[in-house]
């Protein structure tokens, strides 16, 4: 069922590249000014944001390091003062380095936690409080299908995405009836600078534009909790999610040997 949405202000965090940047372009292309007033884009790189902002007068940039809670608070205050509290916040910021067991590192894991999980929490803290006071809003957090179950070389990345999925599940239930919709976005492999580090063939590899199409349609269509894609890959992984451990590990061993 298609649901009309009148987002006057959208805040996309992690908008300088990859899925976030493609999603900005998708919103600009698909939403006229009556259905979308302003898109606020945030990321650490002000230079990269400036290039994206030149594409449309409807884009405003607010550079931001999500690992700095004080900077997040200041960014939200600035956005609210100049554009109003966002109707929709999409968290796309992320960090990824493959970590095989021989390179196991607490520092590598800490960097993933700081950006992928704690960064999302830093943004959720003030935006949830303000949306609850207003009594409306939508939040979409980008996790990953890598958070469904443990995967080789994803020991730093996967657990942060699993934590995000768990957090969003918890908040979805607790926010029921408050006027706030909580969603989780679980992409498969998307062709970005991060996944370019992988030394294996990535099944069902999507472009950032294809990912943005899935996300946009999911956000516009209904209030379903999860937006996951591409569908064939998601179905396979969700089957793997319910397998007993002995079967799951055998399946992973076969995949690694290919």
Summarised one tens digit per residue, pLDDT across range 131-182 is 999 999 999 999 999 999 999 999 999 999 999 999 999 999 999 999 999 9
Q: Is residue 148 part of a domain?
A: yes
Per-residue confidence (pLDDT) for residue 221, from 0 to 100: 86
* Count of structural domains within the chain: 1
Domain-embedded: residue 36: yes
Of 129, 215, 142, residue with least CA distance to 180:
129
pTM as predicted: 0.94
Percent of the chain with pLDDT over 90: 85
Token output for 131: 């949306």
Flag whether pLDDT at 4 surpasses 60: no
- Residue 31 counted as domain residue: yes
Q: Which of 23-32, 139-148, 246-255 has the highest mean pLDDT?
A: 139-148
* pLDDT greater than 50 at residue 191: yes
Structural domain boundaries, residue 39 = 7-257
pLDDT at 35: 59
Q: What is the reported pLDDT for 37? A: 77
Q: Across residues 96-104, what is the average pLDDT?
A: 96
pLDDT of residue 251: 84
Confidence bin at 2 (pLDDT 50/70/90): very low
Whether 1 maps to a domain, the answer reads no
Question: Which residues, other chains included, contact 52 with Cβ-Cβ below 8 Å and sequence gap of 6+?
Answer: 15, 16, 21, 24, 41, 59, 61
pLDDT at 238 over 80: yes
Q: What is the mean pLDDT of the chain?
A: 93
CATH number, domain with residue 16:
3.40.50.720
Cα separations in angstroms, 199 against 5, 92, 111: 41, 24, 21
Quote the pLDDT of residue 256. Answer: 60
Please say whether the beta carbons of 106 and 156 come within 8 A.
no
Residue 2 lies in a domain: no
**Mean of pLDDT values over 49-64:** 94
Q: What is the largest CA-CA distance in the chain?
A: 55
Sign of CA dihedral 112, 113, 117, 123: negative
Report yes or no on 169 lying in a domain: yes
State yes or no: pLDDT of 53 exceeds 70: yes
**In the numeric block, which tokens belong to residue 203?**
């099944």
Quick check: is 253 in a domain?
A: yes
Please check whether residue 228 lies inside any domain of the structure: yes
């Amino acid at each position: 069922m298609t649901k009309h949405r009148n987002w006057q202000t959208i805040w996309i965090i992690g908008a300088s590249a990859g899925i976030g940047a493609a999603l900005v372009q998708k919103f600009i292309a698909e939403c006229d000014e009556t259905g979308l007033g302003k898109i606020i884009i945030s990321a650490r790189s002000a230079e990269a944001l400036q290039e994206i902002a030149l594409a449309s007068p409807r884009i405003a940039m607010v550079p931001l390091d999500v690992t700095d809670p004080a900077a997040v608070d200041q960014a939200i205050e600035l956005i609210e003062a100049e554009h109003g509290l966002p109707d929709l916040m999409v968290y796309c910021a992320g960090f990824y380095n493959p970590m095989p067991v021989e390179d196991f590192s607490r520092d590598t894991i800490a960097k993933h936690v700081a950006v992928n999980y704690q960064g999302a929490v830093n943004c959720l803290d003030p935006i949830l409080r303000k949306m609850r006071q207003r009594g409306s809003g939508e939040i979409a957090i980008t996790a990953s299908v890598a958070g469904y179950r443990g995967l080789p070389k994803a020991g730093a990345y996967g657990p942060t995405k699993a934590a995000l999925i768990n957090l969003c599940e918890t908040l979805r239930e607790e926010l029921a009836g408050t006027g706030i919709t909580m969603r989780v976005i679980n992409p498969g492999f998307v062709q970005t600078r991060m996944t370019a580090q992988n030394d294996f063939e990535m099944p069902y590899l999507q472009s950032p534009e294809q990912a943005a199409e899935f996300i946009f349609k999911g956000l516009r269509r209904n209030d379903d909790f999860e937006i996951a894609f591409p569908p064939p890959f998601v179905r396979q992984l969700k089957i793997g999610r319910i397998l007993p451990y002995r079967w799951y590990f055998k399946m992973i061993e076969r995949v690694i040997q290919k």
